[in-house]
């Protein structure tokens, strides 16, 4: 039996006004949108007079975005690649520095709403989940990984407390090829009831997606890249959708604003002789009840932002 036609929800940028406020765009500035998606932030930046360089690693977002930009004539240059490579991607279009960087972390609405991409179990589709549409699929992972590896992924990236039970059920049910199959395996393993408030399959899908796409490592490298391309006085605005992402952004801004001397996986420990790269971050912003009512996907969003100071974090007080 063929699936019913899927209705694709319109893309609604989350915390749009708040992100634009954090970027404080002045006409003629250059701004980078590291996660173009359906182009909501980029179009809003261009509408405020910015020259926008937008980045996305999803070939669908690139193809559809270029068609939209050509049609509408927006001042947007669209470049394909991961936002962790922001510095080299901007250099390719002769933009060594920008006045603002926006990052909307995680899966985009256009990816979630298309069953053939396999990011969601709301409509049945192939187990894919690849943002760049290359490399290992979700089906490859669940069908070949060991029970221990699957459990570790579910626990680390989905914060699933019964990860071993779920992993055991996945291995027993192999091979799996459809989103509905995986979701049902998880539900049965955890005793899900239709009236339960949250579908437990959500955690498993989040975990596998983050693992396949290396999202948390990408975020850490992307924050470092944003620091390197922001001009003095430049603004960074990052929207995250769950605690793992938000913790990375919060700790990065605290560390790079001098609030914490700890290091990270990709940067050695900050010494007291180094100057902060960012001013004290603004207070975290979350969506209003009205925005959540109009766009339920905004519910878990958090915006963190900060202003780039006038020198590199690697410059020392004695100038060496």
DSSP assignment of 205-226, as one string?
HHHHHHHHHTHHHHHHHHHHHH
How far apart are the C-alpha atoms of 229 and 88, rounded to whole Å? 10
23 is written with which tokens?
Answer: 């970027």
Alpha carbon 218 to its chain centroid, in Å, reads: 9
> Over the stretch 224-248, which tens digit does the pLDDT of each residue have?
999 999 999 999 999 999 999 999 9
Name which of 111-120, 132-141, 231-240, 309-318 the model is least confident about: 309-318
Residue 28 resides in a domain: yes
Ranges 102-116, 232-246, 269-283, most confident: 232-246
DSSP 8-class letter at 312: -
- Please check whether residue 32 lies inside any domain of the structure: yes
| pLDDT confidence tier of residue 80, bands split at 50, 70 and 90 | very high
Asked if residue 42 has pLDDT above 90, the reply is yes
Q: What is the average pLDDT across 71-76?
A: 94
| 183 plus 255 within the same structural domain | no
Residue 90 in domain: yes
The reply to whether 102 and 184 lie within a common domain is no
pLDDT band (50, 70, 90) for residue 260: low
The answer, yes or no, to whether residue 283 has pLDDT greater than 90, is yes
Q: What is the pLDDT of residue 319?
A: 33
Domain assignment present for residue 315? The answer is: no
Please, are residues 65 and 88 in contact by the beta-carbon 8 Å criterion?
no
Given a cut of 80, whether residue 194 has pLDDT beyond it is no
Between residues 117 and 47, the one the model is more confident about:
47
Regarding whether 102 and 23 lie in a shared domain, the answer is: yes
H or E stretch covering 294: helix 289-294
173 and 37 co-located in one domain: no
What confidence score (pLDDT) does residue 192 get?
79
Q: State whether 106 and 219 are in the same domain.
A: yes
Q: Classify residue 94 as left (phi > 0), alpha (psi -120 to 50) or beta.
A: left
Q: Mean pLDDT throughout 289-314?
A: 86
Number of domains observed in the structure of the chain: 2
The answer to whether 51 and 90 have CB atoms below 8 angstroms apart is: no
Query: Are 157 and 274 in a shared domain?
Result: no
Residues 167 and 297 in one domain: no
Cβ atoms of 25 and 48 within 8 Å: the answer is yes
pLDDT of residue 193: 74
Q: What are phi and psi of 130, to 5 degrees?
A: -90, 120
Same domain flag for 24 and 157: no
Write down the pLDDT at residue 268.
Answer: 52
pLDDT at 113: 67
Q: State percent of the chain over pLDDT 70.
A: 87
Q: What is the structure's pLDDT at 275?
A: 86
Q: What is the CATH number of the domain that holds 193?
A: 1.10.150.170
* 114 band by pLDDT with thresholds 50, 70 and 90: confident
**DSSP string of 126-170, one letter each residue:** BS---SSS-S--HHHHHHHS-HHHHHHHHHHHH--TTHHHHHHHH
Residue showing tokens 């470092």: 224
Which helix (DSSP H) or strand (DSSP E) does residue 244 occupy? helix 243-256
| β-pairing verdict for 230-240 and 302-307 | antiparallel
76 Cα distance to chain centroid = 20
Whole-number pLDDT of residue 196: 74
Last residue of a domain, one of 192, 213, 234: 213
Domain identity same for 222 and 170:
no
Q: Is 313 among the domain residues?
A: no
Q: Looking at the predicted structure, is the pLDDT value of residue 285 above 70?
A: yes
3-state secondary structure 101-128: EEEECCCCHHHHCCHHHCCCCCCCCECC
Q: Which of 196, 213, 230 is the last residue of a domain?
A: 213
pLDDT score at 265: 52
CA dihedral for 15, 279, 218, 87, sign (positive or negative): positive
- pLDDT number for residue 317: 34
Structural domain span for residue 202: 129-213
Residue 35's CB is within 10 A of a number of other CB atoms, namely 24
């Amino acid at each position: 039996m063929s699936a019913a036609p899927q209705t694709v929800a319109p893309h609604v940028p989350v915390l749009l006004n708040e992100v634009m406020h954090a970027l404080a765009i002045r006409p003629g500035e250059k701004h980078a949108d590291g996660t173009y998606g359906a182009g909501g932030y980029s179009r809003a930046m261009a509408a405020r007079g910015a020259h926008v360089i937008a980045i996305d690693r999803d070939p669908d977002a690139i193809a559809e975005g270029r068609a939209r930009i050509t049609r509408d004539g927006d001042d947007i240059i669209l470049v394909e690649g991961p936002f962790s490579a922001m510095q080299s991607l901007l250099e390719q279009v002769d933009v060594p520095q920008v006045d603002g960087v926006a990052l909307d972390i995680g899966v985009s609405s256009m990816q979630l709403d298309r069953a053939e991409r396999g990011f969601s179990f709301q409509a049945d589709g192939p187990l894919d989940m690849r943002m760049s549409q290359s490399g290992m699929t979700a089906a490859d992972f669940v069908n070949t990984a060991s029970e221990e590896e699957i459990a570790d992924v579910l626990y680390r990236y989905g914060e699933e407390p019964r990860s071993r039970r779920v992993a055991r059920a996945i291995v027993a049910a192999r091979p799996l090829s459809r989103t509905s199959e995986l979701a049902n395996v998880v539900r049965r393993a955890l005793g899900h009831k239709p009236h339960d408030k949250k579908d437990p399959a959500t955690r498993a899908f989040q975990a596998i997606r983050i693992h396949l796409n290396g999202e948390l490592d990408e975020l850490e490298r992307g924050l470092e890249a944003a620091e390197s391309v922001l001009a003095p006085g430049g603004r960074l605005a990052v929207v995250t959708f769950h605690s793992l992402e938000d913790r990375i952004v919060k700790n990065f801004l605290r560390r790079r604003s001098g609030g914490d001397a700890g290091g990270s996986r990709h940067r050695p420990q900050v010494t007291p002789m180094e100057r902060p790269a960012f001013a004290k971050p603004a207070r975290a912003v979350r969506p209003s009840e009205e925005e959540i009512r109009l766009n339920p996907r905004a519910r878990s969003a958090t915006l963190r932002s900060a202003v780039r100071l006038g020198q590199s974090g690697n410059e020392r007080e004695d100038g060496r």
